[in-house]
Amino acid sequence: MRFGKVFIAGGGPGDPGLLTLRAAQVLAQADVLLYDALVSDDVVALARANCEKIFVGKRCGSHAMEQRDIVAFMIRYALDGKCVVRLKGGDPFVFGRGGEEAQALHDAGVPFEVVPGISSSLAVPAYAGIPLTHRGVSASFTVVTGHEDPQKGHAQIDWQRLAHAGGTLVILMGLTHLRAIAERLMAHGLSGDTPAAAIENGTLAEQVVVEGALRDIADRVESEDLRGPAVIVIGEVVRLRDRIASVESAACFSQSR
């Protein structure tokens, strides 16, 4: 039997210019492309014309394909001798379930390679003019998922510890639970005056940035009707945006609010 190979690749934060050279190379040779909702159309378009493109994304509880079926597709196509690219938004190992898929491929004896990508947790704040670390302001940053409802029982995220961690807090997939997250952080002692920003469609021409403070960022996001995908940044570094957001105007990004 002639085995193919699976590439578990990061598609970056959206702007195709931020796709890695290695990811572009494997896209150009893919027989089958399994891509997620957060992968931009411009990145998908880099696959060759005769590549079989299959959307397997998930959005707001709506799944184009269950995770077990995605894994089954990767294994089946690879066993058929195909070059398969499993393309994820950002980096495949940052809240992308890439590790689970790599384990499944290993267990099935299917050759695979991981192609790292630029995480939206890094690129999106940078494009919005927000440095995650800055001398004298923040010496560390923490990235967490906001997809976990902070009001549910048995939460894996320790919001009390995060409220006292210092540095910058970056929340991915947190728009739906933003109000509850802010309330939980303030309840554990993080000042409501802490600067905060929500960045929708980061790195794309449609990028929108909503700024505020922890106590009112949820109200501001609702007022501007942000729908996501969005990256939320909480910390003093948000105050630096006024002097650093030159990329936004240069790229003709839409607006800051």
CA 165 to chain CA centroid, Å, is 22
The pLDDT value given to residue 255: 54
Per-residue confidence in pLDDT tens, the chain, 257 aa:
567 999 999 999 999 999 999 999 999 999 999 999 999 999 999 999 999 999 998 765 556 788 899 999 999 999 999 999 999 999 999 998 999 999 999 999 999 999 999 999 999 999 999 999 999 999 999 999 998 755 556 668 999 999 999 999 999 999 999 999 999 999 999 999 999 999 999 999 999 999 999 999 999 999 999 988 899 999 999 999 998 886 555 544 555 55
Q: Which residues contact 198 (CB under 8 A, 6 or more apart)?
A: 175, 178, 209, 210, 217, 220, 221, 226, 230, 231, 232
- Contact between 225 and 236 (Cβ < 8 Å): no
**Is 120-256 in the same CATH topology as 5-115?**
no
Homologous superfamily in CATH for domain 5-115 = Tetrapyrrole methylase, N-terminal domain (3.40.1010.10)
Output the six-digit token pair for 241: 């945006």
pTM of the model: 0.90
Q: How many CB atoms lie within 10 A of CB 41?
A: 9
The pLDDT value given to residue 166: 94
Output the six-digit token pair for 65: 């394909």
Whole-number Å distance between alpha carbons of 165 and 153: 22
Residue numbers annotated as active site? 36, 58, 173
- Contact between 12 and 18 (Cβ < 8 Å): yes
**Tokens 């106590």 belong to which residue?**
215
Report the topology of domain 120-256: 3.30.950
Whole-number Å distance between alpha carbons of 78 and 30: 11
Domain borders along the chain are 5-115, 120-256
The pLDDT value given to residue 3: 75
**Tokens 């910390």 belong to which residue?**
235
The pLDDT value given to residue 149: 54
The pLDDT value given to residue 245: 82
Beta strands in the chain (DSSP E): 5-10, 32-35, 52-55, 58-59, 62-63, 83-88, 112-115, 141-145, 168-172, 195-200, 208-213, 230-234, 255-256
The pLDDT value given to residue 59: 61
Whole-number Å distance between alpha carbons of 28 and 18: 16
